[in-house]
Chains A and B, each alone.
Chain A
């Protein structure tokens, strides 16, 4: 039997991951022949790491994804249309690629707000304006900024803030312009937004919140709707993305915000699948790489027949800001207030240090959290949320990330007799006290009598301390 012909349109993270998952299940292409059509001229790369490239911690080459073997890869190739009646993809050069299954992994594209001056007359971005979406964008931004030069970032969402932090780290004077009056309003409540703003300002990033940019003047900067002005040699637009669904629309598939798919990632045509940013599934929001990766696993199971029962049921959304010196995680229901019935809400605010922690639980399970400046808590709470596991009873310890430690180290007097002083030889305080009373009046004598200190020697100070304490207890000769 000849392998099923699968054509994938789009070679971003979703398409590349799908190829890898398919080849993991069908290494030699015996079940599935894969053709991938990519519009860009270079191989796929890890978009999640673009902010690290912008920040200068990773080289552009370091974020490229490895290609899979036994894949017919067509780079720098545009698709003209899909002819569903004969099941073929028609390329811009006229070549047709027949398919048994078609996968749309067309991703998303940045949305550019209609601010006057951002676009040139021909619709392309004006000089000094860059979106922050591709590796090429990164290269252009880095090439166009010199340390000390002013940069404006349009958009105070996750990506915009990562870009702002990266550019500030490179020595640029960064101003973030955000139309809502708190940052990352989808993922954060107002208090968290304020605490985050404080942290960013401490790092030298200026914030203009609740204002719209009304006009861009190349070489000058942005005019805002409150009449003020932001100087900028460069404007980075990070105002959100839109699923790239034109191809799906043009061939008549159901498209709402994105290409609508079911739990088998099928579009309205059961021969056509979609995954990643271009797809719309009720279990996730688009734009997160974890969703695309989870979807790639399911789709590879289905396309190769490795597990026909595999279904995509959604991906818990955890937002994690990747910005040096800022540790922020947000997940689940973040806007729930303490008075909401059925919800248990804890909140800790430490605005002076830019820290904020909020935890929402229902029926003993974590259903939402915001953790700013609480890295240990973020790690533990994320796992509880991902697994739906019951939360520890000590909520405060959970919120803080670790159990409260005893105020002071207990001294020799405070320890119970059963406390083990020398672990290597299981010697308790009681045994040492008895040995002392029997005449072992020095650390060496105590060691001879009990073997304490004769293993790793780590308890030597403790045994000395105990000997001193016992010595002080002795009645002094008068």
Chain B
């Protein structure tokens, strides 16, 4: 039976159908309109991937499920008894379904009683989330349906290479592209930047200065929507005081973006009838990432875009369930429904749903990198679900050392990822089309993924794993349901009244094809495709402009490390590559790491096209093949982060953290390029 479902990869969650074979064909769905990229087209290969795990591994040896689960439970109980509940940590992922994210958070707080839980979404959406909450009072990546973008005359994309990271999305930019309205901010001349009418290529780490410059231009050229600001926002005066000192020529000197291009970009945005500002990881993954996003929001507010029909501000969520995954309690400081764990009312509500005492719930834990950095010193055990941190975390050699310092590492995955290899116990779990569950896509729409194929014998779902472990840890069996619909029913109650309110969303409504965007507080509620049309989510209904200033990268180039390195994705691979590197067609297209450099930069390092380069930072070095690219800035190199071992781009990245979001500075660090002799 062909089963309608959604792609296993990014947050666009393209509609697709899994047919017997198994094979995948695109399906007409609003976000992808029948399009799929190569990753989506080849995703059925994941279902037959060689090296699929079907047996639990204990210390590398095959074991029965009972043996493995008993062992895990026993070790966790021992460690907890000896060192307290915070000695066990949990690490989740933004690809997990809502049901798994929810149950994982509950498992940590209730079954383990630990505060030490965070997830790889911290490396993805945390800066955008922090800035969104600051400005609008709520964080939903796109507070409007993706299809609204199709009517935009102008779109400013900041640090977003959508032509490679969510290709079918580009369909929605067609009008903007064709009318000369696409403006792209990216240090690289990416496949997306090539389609832009104006490409602003700032020095890596200077986006905030650029945003201030554009705001300055908007004021000086009288493009600011004063009526909108007086009605709908506060904080313009303070924000302008900062932007006033960033006149375009000053910004040019810091960013390398010409004053003329700054003016062109603002003119394109301001003259459009419908305009959007969209950010992504390029501007968010910085030690000042929250402030950077705030600066782009400030620009959007000054132009009067957010909350106006046909215009707006949004951030492009990365991982498949990057939106839902950040709402239901995997985050160190959060409870389901996007509630704050230190809010007494939130604790009371969730504790009641869970049938526990509010005071039994732990408080906030550490953010992802801080958690990983403390392993062995703080937590003695770590349980990893849906994440490949040995490849994806910053300063990955150090993170790998921390993993090795643990007494006990448990990894649930469907392949032997680079992290699973290090684990004491590996639990083989189902993937994507082998299980059911809901995902919340980049526009806050809840999607149902139905089971399309029978999982191979021997694997279990994450929900089953959590259930079995919870029972072994002394929890009542009914507290950890294994049926996804039952878990969702509980999630609905836990989220009710919260910011991300799912109370009115049911599997039935989703099966019937309803397009439900949260908040959806009751079963008669149609959902909320567009937020902010009347008011923002702060008590007074107004958006906040936050007066942020440029700080620059945490690590500047110097004589020893004269170049800036930035990292990102290629079209054929997804995140740590644990899945896509196992798809033969994708791996054949891009089989190994490369470093994009300007030909002169390569030449100065004694390197030519195709040579293997060593890229060194203060934290480590990575090997990658040289790709000479004429359009690169002469001071910048680019590395994709999908590759393992000595090709891990994250060996060199800087774990300097954003003080608000805990986001590491993936997008800029100082490096040196060397020939490998």
Binding site for B on A (CB under 8 A): 46, 48-49, 52, 57-58, 62-66, 290, 318, 320, 322, 327, 375-376, 378-380, 382-383, 386-387, 389-390, 392-394, 401, 403, 423-426, 451, 454-458
Contact = CB atoms under 8 A, between A and B. Distances in A.
B259 A375 contact: yes
Contact of B252 (A378, A389, A394, A425): A378
Contacts of A290: 250, 253
Contacts of A49: 244, 247
A63 B244 contact: yes
Given A424-B571, A456-B170, A46 B163 contact: no
Given A46-B244, A393-B600, A423 B252 contact: no
B143 to A, nearest CB: 23
B67 interface: no
B634 interface: yes
28 contacts: A49-B247, A52-B220, A57-B221, A58-B219, A62-B240, A65-B245, A66-B241, A320-B249, A320-B252, A375-B259, A375-B261, A378-B252, A379-B256, A379-B257, A379-B261, A380-B256, A383-B203, A383-B253, A392-B600, A423-B164, A424-B163, A426-B571, A426-B572, A454-B36, A456-B163, A457-B170, A458-B170, A458-B195
A456 B171 contact: yes
A455 B220 contact: no
A389 B167 contact: no
Interface residues of B, number: 52
B191 to A, nearest CB: 6
A392 B598 contact: yes
B167 A423 contact: yes
A35 B394 CA distance: 45
Contacts of A66: 238, 241
Nearest to A425: B38
B635 interface: yes
A455 B37 contact: yes
Contacts of B562: 389
Contacts of A454: 26, 34-36, 41
B486 interface: no
B525 interface: no
A424 B589 CA distance: 12
B220 A57 contact: yes
A378 B600 contact: no
Interface in B151-171: 163-164, 167-171
A421 B253 CA distance: 38
A456 B169 contact: yes
Contacts of A401: 258
A383 B600 CA distance: 16
Contact of A379 (B167, B244, B252): B252
Contacts of A456: 35, 37, 163, 167-171
A444 to B, nearest CB: 13
Contacts, number: 126
B677 to A, nearest CB: 22
Given A382-B256, A455-B38, A455-B170, 4 more contacts: A52-B220, A393-B599, A426-B571, A457-B174
A451 to B, nearest CB: 6
Contacts of B598: 392
Contacts of A426: 38, 571-572, 589
A412 B164 CA distance: 23
Given A52-B220, A383-B203, A455-B36, A327 B259 contact: yes
Interface of B: 26, 34-38, 41, 163-164, 167-171, 174, 191, 195, 203, 219-222, 238, 240-241, 244-245, 247, 249-250, 252-253, 256-261, 557, 562, 571-572, 589, 598-600, 603-604, 630-631, 634-635
Interface centre among A49, A65, A66, A318 (most CB of B within 10 A): A66
Nearest to A397: B630
Given A63-B244, A424-B571, A378 B258 contact: yes
Contacts of B572: 426
Nearest to A316: B253
A62 B224 CA distance: 13
A58 B243 CA distance: 13
B253 A457 contact: no
A383 B41 contact: no
A327 B169 CA distance: 37
A403 B632 CA distance: 11
A393 B259 CA distance: 25
A393 B252 CA distance: 23
Closest 10 CB pairs of A and B: A456-B170, A375-B260, A379-B258, A424-B167, A320-B249, A455-B167, A375-B258, A66-B241, A57-B220, A424-B37
Nearest to A63: B244
Contacts of B41: 425, 451, 454
Contacts of A458: 163, 170, 174, 195
B168 A383 contact: no
B260 A382 contact: no
B602 to A, nearest CB: 11
Given A378-B258, A379-B258, A454-B26, A424 B38 contact: yes
A322 B38 contact: no
Nearest to B40: A455
Contacts of B260: 327, 375-376
A194 B163 CA distance: 46
Nearest to B598: A392
A284 B35 CA distance: 59
A330 to B, nearest CB: 12
Contact of B261 (A322, A376, A386): A376
Given A58-B220, A424-B38, A403 B170 contact: no
A457 B171 contact: yes
Given A383-B253, A455-B37, A322 B170 contact: no
Contacts of A386: 253
Contacts of A327: 258-260
B278 to A, nearest CB: 16
Contact of A457 (B35, B203, B221, B222): B35
Contact of A455 (B168, B221, B247): B168
A455 B195 contact: no
Nearest to A393: B600
A387 B604 CA distance: 17
A66 B259 CA distance: 25
Contacts of B603: 393
Nearest to A13: B245
A201 B122 CA distance: 57
